[in-house]
Amino acid sequence: MASTNRRTGVVLFQLGGPDSLEAIEPFLYNLFCDPDIIDFPFARLGRKPLAKLISVARARKVQHHYEVIGGCSPIRRLTERQARSLEKRLCAEGIDARCFVAMRYWHPFTEEAIDALEASQCDTIVLLPMYPQFSKTTTGSSLNEWNRRFEARGRQVHVVNDFYRNGLYVDALVERIEDTLARFPDPDDVVLVFSAHSVPVSVIEQGDPYQKQIEETVALVKKRGGWLNCHRLCYQSKVGASKWLQPSLRSTIRELGAAGIKDVCVIPISFVSDHVETLGEIDHEARELATAAGITRFKMTEGLNDSPIFIGALAQLVTACLPGVKKEPAFAAPAMRVLAKGY
């Protein structure tokens, strides 16, 4: 059992999501006002008008996704459940921990998490972005916002930049895939479709490691699972007219249907909880597309959410940052850990 006399604050970063249909447009406005998302010459002058234009148009387009999943995003509820499960796990290991949720574009915002953190009087802080793979548009954006608003004042601050190589994280994904494959009449005939959130190609060309880390995640999961099934990697959630990572989930489904494939299992490989992009975009929209394409058995793996194995992975990531705490050897490769500066 680990032990430490210091109180540790763990901040779980996530994208956030609207808590009502009326919140969709302001949520999207916050998203497209992010300089790590929208950046171009003279962006300071044009970013807000452009964000307003995009958010109004996009809100109309995505509203039906939220309507079919209950009228709001479940991401806050699920992330807070992850935080409570992680806090309980760390305390059971002898670590005096408090866990907080910081959403980038909707409540609870980063400043709300900082207020709660300050009230808890933590000595050590671990920043834990809930993005397995690093991208400046996700992890980088959350850490930039944190650095704009937080003063360390001598406290130790550690960051987990990515965790896609963590062994328990990979095991948690394999468990979800195995559970889903067991629901097919012949699991060996199922095509595995790994779907990741897309990003603009220009971001990758600037050196962002996201695409390579996604590809490595798929390879690690395939190796750990030992399946011989055919598989595809595709991307979803493209916004705007610029070039984004391809192939798309939609084109992949159409191609599989045209090839006579009947059994498809979609794995949301870049997400750690269920939200509109899994429940709406994959399990509703893509399912309808699959049916129209002739795919008769279409299933999506459940999000990792508060899977005990996944919570164990998060606990390992936190304890790996803490001095004087016995570390458990459970990494496929070490996660990066640096001070929260320079993003």
pLDDT digits (tens), the chain, 343 positions: 454 568 999 999 999 999 999 999 999 999 999 989 876 665 666 788 889 999 999 999 999 999 999 999 999 999 999 999 999 999 999 999 999 999 999 999 999 999 999 999 999 999 999 999 999 999 999 999 999 999 988 899 999 999 999 999 999 999 999 999 999 999 999 999 999 999 999 999 999 999 999 999 999 999 999 999 999 999 999 988 889 999 999 999 999 999 999 999 999 999 999 999 999 999 999 999 999 999 999 999 999 999 999 999 999 999 999 987 665 554 444 333 333 433 3
> 68, 95, 130: which is the final residue of a domain?
68
Structural domain contains residue 30: yes
Residue 185's domain spans which residues?
167-300
Is 80 within 8 Å of 130 (Cβ atoms)? no
CA distance 249 to 233: 9
Residue 54 lies in a domain: yes
Pair (171, 295) in one structural domain: yes
Total domain count, the chain: 2
Output the CA–CA distances (angstroms, integers) from residue 112 to 11, 130, 150, in the order listed.
11, 18, 11
- Is 156 among the domain residues? no
pTM score of the predicted model: 0.92
Q: How far is CA 108 from CA 114, 185, 223, 245, in A?
A: 10, 43, 38, 30
Judge whether 203 lies within some domain.
yes
Is-contact 83 89, C-beta < 8 A? Answer: no
Exposed, middle or buried by CB within 10 Å (0-12, 13-18, 19+), for 88?
Answer: middle
- Is residue 50 located within the same domain as residue 172? no
**Residue 23 DSSP symbol:** G
293 and 172 within one domain? yes
Residue 266 within any structural domain of the chain: yes
Q: Is residue 35 part of a domain?
A: yes
